[in-house]
């Protein structure tokens, strides 16, 4: 099975603490790295993760609150000092272009690579990235400013050809990929061997959904339905529901309800408020609704 991993770099909320870094994570799809959000300290966490800087070419910013984007200029500057040459693509609300370009022009003159911006409307559901391995689409959310999550859909892989059939029918190397793509095989005697005899279906494509920051938002359920892994913010405990509504964030119980209703396979909760010394109460609240829940933590790696 091809690699599809989630690396948590930071899972705290806006107020810095000694326990958590600001929000950021990296999705590894077949050794291509995609960053989601880039709070302060992200580049240090990226070092600790031992992920290769050179394989990170795309950054997706959910919204323009500082704990989700204040780390961008530092990361861009570091890439310049490393003499990066590959373009860096940033996908975000259109306002980020003006906010960040001024800093790049002032602090990062003469860089050896280009930063390319791809603005999108966070209020609209749309595909904003697509290649042979994965597509990324926006998930419109409910927050105090235009905000979206991101849905990573893996592309189907080719069927697997059976080694015993290659040997039995003496299938030449040049035919192997064609058979993986669905062709039958015709022997030297003219007999047609059905493709279904020769191949094993590949694993179903996987889906990862990222939802932070947002108030309880049931309209996303249809879009994320059946995801293999859901990251959903759980800033507050249920006892702080009033505060969650005021700030348009979610409680752990609400995150779990979304996961349950969307019939996802696993849930990881994060974006924890600084008021909690121990997030175990958030985990227990979520697990009452959705048992397959884990707490996000720095340097946590999850295979999807």
Q: Which of 37, 67, 213, 228 is catalytic?
A: 67
Asked if residues 63 and 37 have their Cβ atoms less than 8 Å apart, the reply is: no
In angstroms, the CA 71 to CA 120 distance is 20
CA dist 179 to 43, 70, 186, 187, 292, Å?
A: 44, 49, 11, 13, 39
CB atoms within 10 A of CB 105: 9
Does the annotation count 67 as an active-site position? yes
3-class SS letters over 153-202: EECCCCCEECHHHHHHHCCCHHHHHHHHCCCCEECCCCCEECHHHHEECC
Tell me which residue of 221, 60, 218, 217 sits closest to 150, measured CA to CA: 60
DSSP helix/strand/coil, 274? coil
CB atoms within 10 A of CB 165: 16
Asked if residues 230 and 259 have their Cβ atoms less than 8 Å apart, the reply is: yes
User: Which residues are known catalytic residues?
Assistant: 67
């Amino acid at each position: 099975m091809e690699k599809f991993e989630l690396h948590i770099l930071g899972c705290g909320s806006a107020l810095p603490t000694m326990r958590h870094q600001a929000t950021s994570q990296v999705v590894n799809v077949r050794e291509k790295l995609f960053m989601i959000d880039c709070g302060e300290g992200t580049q240090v966490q990226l070092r600790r993760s031992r992920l290769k800087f050179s394989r990170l070419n795309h950054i997706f910013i959910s919204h323009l609150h500082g704990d989700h984007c204040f780390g961008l200029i530092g990361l861009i500057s570091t890439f310049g000092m490393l003499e990066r040459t590959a373009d860096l693509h940033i996908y975000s609300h259109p306002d980020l272009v003006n906010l960040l370009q001024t800093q790049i022009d002032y602090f990062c003159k003469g860089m050896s690579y280009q930063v390319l911006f791809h603005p999108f409307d966070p209020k609209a559901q749309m595909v904003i990235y697509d290649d042979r391995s994965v597509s990324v689409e926006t998930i419109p959310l409910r927050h105090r400013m235009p905000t979206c999550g991101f849905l990573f859909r893996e592309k189907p892989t080719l069927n697997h050809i059976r080694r015993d059939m290659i040997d039995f029918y003496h299938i030449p190397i040049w035919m192997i990929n064609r058979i993986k793509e669905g062709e039958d095989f015709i022997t030297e005697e003219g007999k047609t061997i059905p493709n279904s005899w020769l191949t094993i279906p590949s694993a179903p494509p996987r889906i990862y959904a990222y939802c932070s920051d947002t108030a309880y938002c049931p309209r996303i359920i249809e879009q994320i339905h059946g995801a293999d892994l859901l990251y959903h913010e759980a800033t507050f405990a249920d006892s702080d529901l009033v505060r969650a509504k005021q700030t348009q964030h979610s409680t752990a119980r609400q995150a779990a309800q979304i996961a349950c209703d969307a019939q996802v396979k696993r849930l990881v909760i994060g974006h924890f408020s600084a008021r909690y010394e121990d997030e175990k109460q958030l985990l227990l609240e979520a697990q009452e609704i959705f048992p397959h829940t884990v707490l996000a933590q720095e340097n946590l790696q999850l295979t999807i």
